[in-house]
Amino acid sequence: MSRLVWLAGGIAVAAALVLLWQLAADAGWVSPVFLPGPDRAVRALVEGLAGGDLLDKLMGTIVRMILGWLLASLIGVALGAAIGISPAARAWLQPTLEFLRPLPASAIVPVAIALLGLSEGMVLAVIAFGALWPMLLGTVHGFAAVEPRLYEVARALKLSRFQVIAKIALPNALPDICAGLRLGLTVALILSVVGEMLAGREGLGQWILLSARSFRAPDLFAGVILLGLVGLISATLLALAEGRVLRWRAP
């Protein structure tokens, strides 16, 4: 019942914002050239999807987001586990990680363009770099936070290193890893759009940029709405998967 009340409250707030948007557009508080009503935006969204052009750009963005996120996940979890399980590795690499961690992904875009050009590989490299850090640092923290007495129990039971990782360290790190995966997916979506705008690749980023340049406000807002839906659906699916993976934590 409590969840239903919160869900109803969230839907009510969203509906109120859409209504306020419609009222502002109808009253002409902002020029319709820049702020179309939600009815025009939804109409442009339906027409774009029905025509196939917007659907193709949507699939391009989703594919880039998933590929960059998977690449960052593989590197981040594997490297984070290697660093987190070894105190010596943490001591040696912590300064480097702290130096690179606050570096925004946008700062490496010129370097990526210089090395890879305005190519698909450049966009994927930028996405992977930006999405890497939440997963890497979450994995390092999860493996490093294992209770030391559990390692003593493992030594007493004469468990192999692989068994220690699989039965003790990995389950302990899973909540942090999942949190990093969620954050990384959001970053991957953002950087997919930015990369498409900069490199001119087919996707929602290019659709939004060209719509803004040609003053097609309904198409612009249709792309923004679609991006919001992609983020919402992907986050929901990942949360459901996390709930199944971590169902042993449920009270």
Read out DSSP for 97-108? HHHHTTS-GGGG
Using one digit for the tens of pLDDT, what is the confidence trace for 225-241?
999 899 989 988 988 88
CATH 3.30.1330.40 is the classification of domain 34-249: no
The tokens describing 129, both together, are 């770099």
The tokens describing 239, both together, are 């949360």
- At residue 8, does pLDDT exceed 60? yes
CB proximity list for 196: less than 8 A, separation 6 or greater: 60, 61, 64, 123, 202, 203, 204, 205, 206, 209
**Inter-helix orientation angle 2-27/38-51, to 10°:** 100
pLDDT of residue 1: 62
Phi, psi of 31 (to 5 degrees): -55, 135
pLDDT band at 130 (very low <50, low <70, confident <90, very high): confident
pLDDT of residue 70: 94
DSSP 8-state code for residue 248? G
Please state the domain extents for the chain: 1-30, 34-249
- At residue 250, does pLDDT exceed 60? no
The tokens describing 235, both together, are 């986050």
Residue 59 CA from chain centroid, whole number: 16
Give dist(CA 160, CA 112) in Å, integer.
42
pLDDT of residue 68: 92
| Residue positions counted in the chain | 251
Using one digit for the tens of pLDDT, what is the confidence trace for 178-208?
888 998 999 999 999 988 888 878 888 888 9
Share of the chain above pLDDT 70, in %: 98
Q: How much is the mean pLDDT over the chain?
A: 84
**Mean pLDDT of the region 198-224:** 87
Give dist(CA 239, CA 138) in Å, integer.
16
Token pair 């019942």 in the structure block, residue: 1
The residue ranking higher by pLDDT, 50 or 95, is 50
Using one digit for the tens of pLDDT, what is the confidence trace for 23-75?
888 888 887 778 888 888 888 888 888 877 888 888 999 999 999 999 999 99
Give dist(CA 244, CA 236) in Å, integer.
13
pLDDT of residue 62: 92
DSSP element (H, E) containing 117: none
Classify each residue of 120-157 as buried b or exposed e, where b means 16 or more C-beta atoms within 10 Å of its C-beta.
bebbbbbbbbbbbbbbbbbbbbbbbebeeeeeeebeee
Give dist(CA 172, CA 249) in Å, integer.
11
The residue ranking higher by pLDDT, 176 or 33, is 176
Which parts of the chain fold into alpha helices (H)?
Answer: 2-27, 38-51, 53-84, 87-100, 109-116, 120-144, 148-156, 161-164, 170-199, 204-213, 217-245
